Structure 1
Amino acid sequence: MPQNPFIIATKTVNAEVYVFDYSKHPSKPPMDGACSPDLRLKGHNSEGYGLSWSIFKPGHLLSGSDDAQICLWDINATPKNKIIDAQQIFKVSNVHQSSSLHEIFHFIIALDNCHDGVVEDVAWHLRHEYLFGSVGDDHHLLIWDLRAPSPTKPIQSVVAHQGEVNCLAFNPFNEWVVATGSTDKTVKLFDLRKISTALHTLDCHKEEVFQVGWNPKNETILGSCCLGRRLMVWDLSRIDEEQTPEDAEDGPPELLFIHGGHTSKVSDFSWNPSEEWVVASVAEDNILQVWQMAENIYHDEDDLPTGEPASTPTKGP
C-alpha cells in the first residue's frame, strides 16, 4: 500500500485476496508453512492477477480476476473474523428468462461495454481518484468512474488489441495517456480524450507482453517485458526520429534499450522511485535482478560530463 509499505496485498488460487501487515509477521516463515493473513478479502469466484492500491484513498484496493469481475475493497472497514466483503463489484447482471425485451436489450448494451471473460489487470488513475482502468482477454481496454450511476457501464471502451490484453499503466505525468500490453506482442498508447484510435504502437517484442510500466521520474520513458526473456525500455520522445539503415536493423528509434540478462520469462519489473534509471526485474526461475543502463545510452554524447569517454549507444544489455 503506497501510504504504508508494511501493508501487502496478494492474490491466491482460492479466489480470495490476502492482506498482510508485514510488521506483525516474523522474517522467517513458520516451520509448518501455515499462511495467516491479517485480512481475507472476499468477492471473487476464481483466481486472477490484477491488483491496484489507490494513491488517493488509503486502504482502497482494486482486483480483477478470471470471473470477469472487478472488486473494490476498503480495508479500513470493520472485518468480521478477519474477512471483508467487497464494497463494490463491477460486473454485468445476469438476465433471467422472465426478463422483458426492454431489459434484455439494455443487458446486451451493457455486455458490449463490459469485459466478457478474464480481467487480466486493473489500475487506478494517477491524477483522478475516481477513475480506474481494466483490460482483459476480450481484447478490451475499459475506463471506469466510481461516480457513475451504474457499475455495469464503463465510461469508455475500446478494442485495444488483436489479442488478449495483459496489462495497463497510466502515465504519471500526462493524465490523458495510458499504455497497454498484449498477447499480440505489441504495446499500445492511448489518449483518453480520443480512445477509439491508438496514439502509437510499439512493435518489437517477439512474444506476448506481460507487463508495462512508466518511469516515475521521466514522462517519456516506458518499460515492457515479455515471454521472450527480454525487458525493453522505450523513449517516446524519439518516435519518428531519422535513423541510419544500420540503426533501423536494431529496432525503431524509440527503442532505447533491451535488457537480456534473464534466462526465463520476465514476470514483472519495477522502476526505482528514487533512482531514475534503476530497475528491478524478476523471472519465473525466481531470480531477481537489479540493473541500470549505462549513462551513454540515455544521454546524447554532447550531454555527457567533460572528459568522460562516450561509447556508442547499444540496445543490448
Structure 2
Amino acid sequence: MAEDLQQRLEQCQKENDEMKKTIATLEKNVRYSFLIYSDLLPTANIDQGEAHITMTEDFDQINLKSDYSQDYTVHHPILNTLTSDEQNPLLTASVQIPKEGTGNDSTEYGSERREFGDFGLYNAKVNIELKINHDGEVNRASYMPQNSSFIATNSPSAVVLIYNYTKLATQNIDCRPELRLCGHTKEGYALSWNPNINRHILSASNDQTICLWNTEKLAIEEKFDFAWHLFHKTLFGSVGDDRKLTIWNIRSSHYTKSSHVADAHSAEVNCLSFNLFSEYIRATGSADKTVALWDLRNLMLKLHIFESHKNEIFQVQSSHHNETILASSGTGRRLRVWDLSKIGEEQTNDNAEDGPSELLFIHDWHRGKISDFSRNPTEPWITSSVPEDNIVQGWQMAENIYTEDGNEANSVDLE
C-alpha cells in the first residue's frame, strides 16, 4: 500500500511539473488570452455538456481615455452548449480584445528570464449580451456572413432553426426562431452559409442527405461536413464516413451526381476548409490523425500530409489573413497551427523531435478534448477555442513566433 501511495505521489508530481512547463512556455509564446468560464454558460450538467464557439465579423472600435489609456476592439462571439435540458441557451457575448501594439512586446529579450517574450494575459471583460432559448441541444451554430444578426442552428429534432437575434428581447423567452427549415429526417451537426450568395445555407444530417436552402424562397434542392467554395459561388465540398472528398455544383440538374470525387483518407473524413486566398487549395482532416492538403485541379494526389496529431481530427480552418496558415484540432487537448510556407525546410535534430518543419505552434492550455475553435475574421492571429470543460479561451500567439526575424528557439518550445 505504501508503494502504491508513493507511485501516486510521483505521478502527481510528474503531472504538476509538466503543467508548470506548459504554463512557462505559454507565458512566452502567447501574446495575451482571455477566458470565459463555465459559470457564464448556464448548464444543468456541465459534465455532460459540450461547448462550441464562433467568432463573428461584428466588432466595434473602442478607444478608452483614462489614466491607463487602452485601445481595444469589442468582438461578438456566439456561444452554445450541449446539455440534458429541454431548452438550451444560445448565447451572444461581447469581449474586449487589445489592438495591435498594446500590451507586452513579445519580441523583447528578457534579461532575467534569459529568453524572448513575456506573458500577456489581458484582463478581458466578457459579457453575455443575450440568451436565446433553444429547443433541445444546440448541435451547431453558424452566423450568416452577410448579416451576423442571422444565426442558424442544428437541433436534435432534425429541424434547422434560423434566428434574427436583433428582434429578440434580452430576457429569457420561449424558443422563437424566425424560420424553421424542415427537410431532414434526423438530427444534424453541420451548417455552412454561402459567403457569396445572400441567405443560402447548407445543412447536413444523420439521414445522409445535404439540403441546400434559400431562406428567402425556402426552396429545397437536393454526408458529414462541408463548406462553400469561396471563389465559385455554385461550388461546395463535402466529406464524410465514406472517406471521400466530394465537390458539388448546384448548377447541375443532377443533384445526386458530384463533379469531382477523391479518395481522401484511410479513415472517416471529418472536416474540410477552403483556402481564402487560392481558388484551388483546400484542406481535410480525418480520423486517420492527419490533415491533407489538396489542389482542385488534380484530386488524384495530395499536395501534402500534415502529421503531428495523436488523435482523430475534427476541426480544420484556413486563416482569414494569411494564405499559408492553417489550424487543426481534434479529440486531443492540443490545437496545432501550421505554416505551409515552411514545408520541406531543413531542421536540426532537436527541432525535428518537436514536429515537422511546417508545425508553427501548439496551443496546449486546455485540460480536455477541444470541442471547437474559431479564427477571428477581423483580427489576425486571434483564436478562440473551447474544450469539454466549457472554459472558452481566446488567445494570440507571440509575434516573434510567426515573423521572419523571430527567435529560432521558439520553433522548439511549441508545447
Please tell me the TM-score bracket, short chain as reference.
0.7 to 0.9
Match of 1:38 in 2: 178
* AA of the residue aligned to 1:207: N
* AA of the residue aligned to 2:150: I
| Contact in 1 for aligned 2:354/2:414 (Cα 8 Å) | no
* AA of the residue aligned to 2:303: L
- Any gaps of 5 or more consecutive residues in structure 1? 78-83, 90-118, 305-309
Match of 1:276 in 2: 380
Secondary structure of the residue that 1:316 maps to in structure 2? coil
Q: Is 1:260 paired with 2:364?
A: yes
* AA of the residue aligned to 1:87: I
* AA of the residue aligned to 1:23: T
* AA of the residue aligned to 2:221: Q
* AA of the residue aligned to 2:410: P
| Contact in 2 for aligned 1:226/1:265 (Cα 8 Å) | yes
How far 1:14 sits from its partner (Å)? 1.1
Match of 1:24 in 2: 167
Select the structure that is richer in strand.
2
Match of 1:74 in 2: 214
Q: Deviations over 1:140-162 (max 9, x none)?
A: 11000111221110000111011
* AA of the residue aligned to 2:195: I
Match of 1:295 in 2: 399
Secondary structure of the residue that 1:87 maps to in structure 2? strand
Match of 1:145 in 2: 249
Secondary structure of the residue that 2:211 maps to in structure 1? strand
Taking the aligned partners of 1:229 and 1:217, their CA distance within structure 2 comes to 25
After TM superposition, the score normalised by the length of structure 1 is 0.83
| Contact in 2 for aligned 1:296/1:312 (Cα 8 Å) | no
| Contact in 2 for aligned 1:265/1:284 (Cα 8 Å) | yes
How far 1:311 sits from its partner (Å)? 7.3
How far 1:37 sits from its partner (Å)? 1.3
| Contact in 1 for aligned 2:226/2:237 (Cα 8 Å) | yes
Q: Deviations over 1:155-194 (max 9, x none)?
A: 0011101111111000010100110001111100111100
Q: Is 1:51 paired with 2:191?
A: yes
Match of 1:9 in 2: 152
Q: 1:291 to 1:253 in 2, by over 3 A?
A: same
- Any gaps of 5 or more consecutive residues in structure 2? 1-143
Secondary structure of the residue that 2:378 maps to in structure 1? coil
Taking the aligned partners of 2:332 and 2:213, their CA distance within structure 1 comes to 35
Secondary structure of the residue that 2:224 maps to in structure 1? strand
Give 1:1-317 correspondences, 5 Å limit.
1-30=144-173, 34-77=174-217, 84=218, 86-89=219-222, 119-301=223-405, 310=407, 312-314=409-411, 315-316=413-414
Greater RCO, CA 8 A, separation 6+: 2
Taking the aligned partners of 1:280 and 1:180, their CA distance within structure 2 comes to 20
Taking the aligned partners of 2:311 and 2:182, their CA distance within structure 1 comes to 34
Taking the aligned partners of 1:64 and 1:156, their CA distance within structure 2 comes to 19
* AA of the residue aligned to 2:323: E
Identity %: 52
Secondary structure of the residue that 1:247 maps to in structure 2? helix
| Contact in 2 for aligned 1:178/1:189 (Cα 8 Å) | yes
Taking the aligned partners of 1:219 and 1:199, their CA distance within structure 2 comes to 15
| Contact in 2 for aligned 1:296/1:311 (Cα 8 Å) | no
How far 1:273 sits from its partner (Å)? 1.7
Taking the aligned partners of 1:284 and 1:249, their CA distance within structure 2 comes to 29
How far 1:196 sits from its partner (Å)? 1.5
After TM superposition, the score normalised by the length of structure 2 is 0.64
Taking the aligned partners of 1:123 and 1:45, their CA distance within structure 2 comes to 21
How far 1:29 sits from its partner (Å)? 2.5
How far 1:300 sits from its partner (Å)? 2.7
Q: Deviations over 1:95-125 (max 9, x none)?
A: xxxxxxxxxxxxxxxxxxxxxxxx2111100
| Contact in 2 for aligned 1:43/1:71 (Cα 8 Å) | yes
Q: 1:311 to 1:200 in 2, by over 3 A?
A: closer
Taking the aligned partners of 2:265 and 2:300, their CA distance within structure 1 comes to 12
* AA of the residue aligned to 1:58: N
**Root-mean-square deviation over aligned CA pairs:** 1.3
| Number of equivalences | 271
